[in-house]
Chains A and B, each alone.
Chain A
Amino acid sequence: MTQTAKAAKKTSSAKAAVTAEAKAAPAVKKPTSKKKQAQAFPFTAIVGQEEMKLSLILNIIDPRIGGVLVMGHRGTGKSTTVRALAEVLPFIDRVKGDIYNRTVEQYLEMESGAKGAAAIKPEDVKLEQIPVPVVDLPLGATEDRVCGTIDIEKALTSGVKAFEPGLLAQSNRGFLYIDEVNLLDDHLVDVLLDVAASGKNVVEREGISIRHPARFVLVGSGNPEEGELRPQLLDRFGLHARIITINDVAKRVQIVKLRREYDEDPDAFLKKSTREQQKLQKKIEAAKAFLTEVSMDDSVLTDIARLCMNLGIDGHRGELTITRTAYAYAALQGDKKVTMDHVRKIAGLCLRHRLRKDPLETVDAGEKIERELAKVLGEAEAAA
């Protein structure tokens, strides 16, 4: 039952492996992304669960929103939806073959200053287009695979030390997805919090010192009944989407119908949904481009601040998230100005998880936010 490591068959990149003394820019292996499983169920064929879908799309439009936590009932398509995301993501430019998915600037910053390395001219750097990466972080992942470690293969066969990047490297400028995020081991949560805060991953091991950019959109999903999330991690997520069992018979019949069609002939099904998928992809790309043209009046900003204050939300991440998300939502709608109508649509997503939880509270968090929002809007109107 053993199998020689696939890695052994993979050809390493042409770059020479570094010797033990060299500290900067050690050779890296090719990305191991070509281990794709069967193509996922198409995003556009997922029925209902609009809150989750919207949250994901807004995060593509502006990755600074800070990711999304999807919590809710079992068997409602949480992971199906996230895994379907890959197919509707836009493309990004990266330095050709770069495992860290770096931009030219990031590449130059990291490589040019390296001790002993010759200065690299921007025009020498070749670029390529790749789809925004989606990296799956399984619960059983060990820390060295998440952060990266020494390439044991190479060490064993040729006695040289080379850095083998981990999942954090692969997810730079992309999405990092953790299913059952509320069950993730504490020490991995620590690593994630650290990297998410700094945007950098630092590895010091066996004489190799690596620091590489690791900015990713964190997407987590889980069932709240299986356990709670650590407050620090909860706070890291920009948005919090809720997902519940669909109890509409017609919708459920539709879900079943699509699913059976897909199971019967996945290829034909995917082909059929290609157009919808492309349409959505284009829409997202357009919104992303349009984002720079969107603006917000100070009065809206004031209302947002007031809302957060009235809800007793600590820190400023709440305001920041609402603002960014409202921008992205306006861009998606093709509106140039962010209004409180946009804010109203997304306030629940941004604030739900920032309210203090209390088992004795009978009012739903969403309702509470809605109520405060109405108050703020009323006040604003009265003042005008």
Chain B
Amino acid sequence: MIAFTDIIGMDLAKQALMLLAVDPSLGGVVIPSAVGSGKSTLARAFAGILPEGTPFVELPLNVTEDRLIGGVDLEATLAAGQRVVQHGVLSRAHKGVLYVDSLSLLDSSAVSHVMDAMSRRAVIVEREGLSEVHPADFMLVGTYDPSDGEVRMGLLDRIGIIVPFTSQNDYRARKQIVSVVMGTRDLEDTEDELRMLRGLINAAKEQLPKVSMTSEQIKGLIQTAISLGVEGNRVDIFAIRAAIANAALNQRTEVEDEDLKLAMKLVLVPRATRMPEREATDEEMQSQDEPPPPDEQEPEDEDAPAETPDADAEEEQEETPDMIEELMMDAIETELPDNILNISLASKKKAKSGSRGEALNNKRGRFVRAQQGEMKSGKVALIPTLISAAPWQATRKAEKAKKGIKTGALVINKEDVKIKRFRDKSGTLFIFMVDASGSMALNRMRQAKGAVSSLLQNAYVHRDQVALISFRGKQAQVLLPPSQSVDRAKRELDVLPTGGGTPLASALFTGWETAKQARTKGITQIMFVLITDGRGNIPLQAAYEPNAEKAPKEQLEKEIEALALSIQADGIASIVVDTQMNYLSRGEAPKLAQQLGGRYFYLPNAKAEQIVEAALS
């Protein structure tokens, strides 16, 4: 096993984990990073810097509900003649670490249980006649590859620290360094270093209650959260805790600017929903990859540090104090990846090889729990059936014997039968791809919105979901990820830019990606609804190569054909709604429909309802 101190790079992630070790009430650390960056190695090495005996429990992605929450242990119950309870994964992580690799692939019901446990710091078991509360106060350490999809926001909200995503372009080099180091280094050195690190953390824990923070500093963090448009108020506490933990780690009694900056970087900036505008431009050229400088800045505030924030002295300070604003800008600048497209870029590379997505596609939903039901109505869950029949064997046999009926080894009644319940998202995911370029774009957009709206109104009935991708300019953009929420659709579809080129290939690709992600989450039926004239003029690589906008017609056609055939081969249904007004130039949209193996509709003045009808027909 590679030790924490042996891992080179990922300094920010390391620092985040150290803060968590100092103050577990930060809730956890999430590390988004590309494949092979060593994030999971690091997370596992985290156990090594925690006090000995701290539980480190790994949550497998395919966990069932009873493994997660806990329940009756059949074997032990039968052996003991009384009910024996098996604690779930969540409560086994109590006072320790719950580690999830590929957090974004965790099933949504499992995510809900993790969230619930984090909010209560306990697991409430109300299952199979069992009613117990198991303490489950754990730190969640999660790693994930952003190209697998995003982690649910509700869960992120309960996790204090999100390490900013950086592209690990030199990860191969790093791996080599690790192995070289591993070969030549003395194990005793490593052990010494780890011991030192543990000592450092212990000292910081003792220091923690001694650290004070001024009310100005607290206000500054809160103001930053507001200007970044962070949702919710819980994040304030996390930011404060992170700043204090960092001060404690540096054996200080006062929070300083660097602590605030780190708190912004690790807690606030990753949750930003908007970027504040910058005024000063002097420091534009901040270095990108450097870890936060461990410099010894002189604290600037002359005010005596107050023990607690003084809320009564609240003159409405609407403007962010200059110092805070500067810190915030620094935090943003140094942490945004130089190319914001990195994430989508990573996902594109991945998709070409994408083996994991395929494997999961073959499943028809996931077995989650057993539930009472008729034998005919599903697959019988044998063990739960036996559990529910087991207690009655004595009484039933006695009853039957009284009536003179001979019984076999087991008496199983109809009411014992449990059937398997799968998490079956049996509804359809409709992925709308709307051409937002050209003169008719506004019209098409309106139609699409109406259709999305109408589909969502009936979404409960069919368990359908809707996603919306618009394409214009250089590349397609997911405006609405798969969702059942009318509220969300309303918000996301509010503003729609139109005009520019027609990156049809990018739209197909993005749709395909969205479809693949949905499949890993158990949605099997997918339908593309393309609202376009079928004429793409921007090649795929335009999205990440600024000078690749021009491409020969043949290349464009080839791209689209290849994509369309792959999509068809993946079993995705499609319809193409042609909105072209000019009769003479028709021809490209029908061809697209044919390549996709889908149906073609010519609806130049399509009403939303017509599109819905076409999609559902």
Contacts and interface: CB of A to CB of B under 8 A. Distances in A.
Question: Are chains A and B native binding partners rather than an unrelated pairing?
Answer: yes
Interface of A: 1-8, 20, 32, 35, 37, 73-77, 79, 136-146, 149-153, 155-157, 159, 161, 164, 166-167, 179-180, 183, 187, 205-206, 223-228, 230-231, 245-247, 249-250, 252-257, 259-261, 263, 357-361
Contact of A359 (B82, B233, B372, B456): B456
B395 A1 contact: no
Interface of B: 25, 65, 68-69, 73, 76-77, 80-87, 92, 108-109, 112-113, 115-116, 119-133, 152-154, 157, 215, 218-219, 222-223, 225-226, 230-237, 240, 308-309, 311, 314, 316-317, 369, 371-372, 391-392, 394-395, 398-399, 413, 415, 449-450, 452-453, 456-457, 459-460, 483-490, 493
B415 A3 contact: no
Contact of A146 (B115, B126, B223, B311): B126
Contacts of A260: 237, 240, 308
A227 B456 CA distance: 11
Given A142-B126, A205-B415, A359-B456, A2 B87 contact: yes
Contacts of A77: 233
Given A20-B395, A249-B317, A140 B69 contact: yes
18 contacts: A5-B84, A6-B85, A7-B83, A7-B132, A73-B232, A74-B234, A77-B233, A139-B113, A140-B126, A141-B126, A183-B109, A223-B153, A225-B485, A225-B488, A226-B485, A245-B231, A255-B233, A257-B308
B483 to A, nearest CB: 8
A344 to B, nearest CB: 25
A155 B234 contact: no
Given A140-B65, A253-B218, A254-B311, A8 B82 contact: yes
Contact of A228 (B129, B308, B484): B484
Given A74-B153, A161-B395, 15 more contacts: A4-B84, A5-B83, A8-B83, A75-B235, A137-B126, A138-B124, A139-B112, A144-B128, A155-B392, A164-B129, A187-B371, A252-B222, A253-B219, A256-B240, A256-B309
Nearest to B493: A359
B122 A37 contact: yes
A348 to B, nearest CB: 16
A20 B402 CA distance: 13
A335 B553 CA distance: 77
B319 to A, nearest CB: 11
Contacts of A225: 153, 483, 485, 487-488
B75 to A, nearest CB: 10
A253 B215 contact: yes
B557 to A, nearest CB: 35
Nearest to A256: B236
A247 B154 CA distance: 19
Given A76-B233, A224-B487, A259-B237, A253 B311 contact: yes
A264 B401 CA distance: 64
Nearest to B221: A256
The 4 closest A-B pairs by CB, nearest first: A75-B232, A75-B234, A145-B126, A141-B126
B485 A227 contact: yes
Contacts of B80: 4
A37 B82 contact: no
User: Which of A223, A225, A246, A253 has the most chain B CB atoms inside 10 A of its CB?
Assistant: A253
Contacts of A6: 85, 132
Contacts of A139: 109, 112-113, 116
A73 B157 CA distance: 10
A250 B314 contact: yes
A148 to B, nearest CB: 9
A155 B65 contact: no
B460 A155 contact: no
Given A4-B82, A155-B395, A256-B218, A231 B127 contact: no
Given A74-B231, A137-B126, A359-B452, A4 B85 contact: yes
A261 B218 CA distance: 14
A179 B65 CA distance: 17
Contacts of A8: 82-83
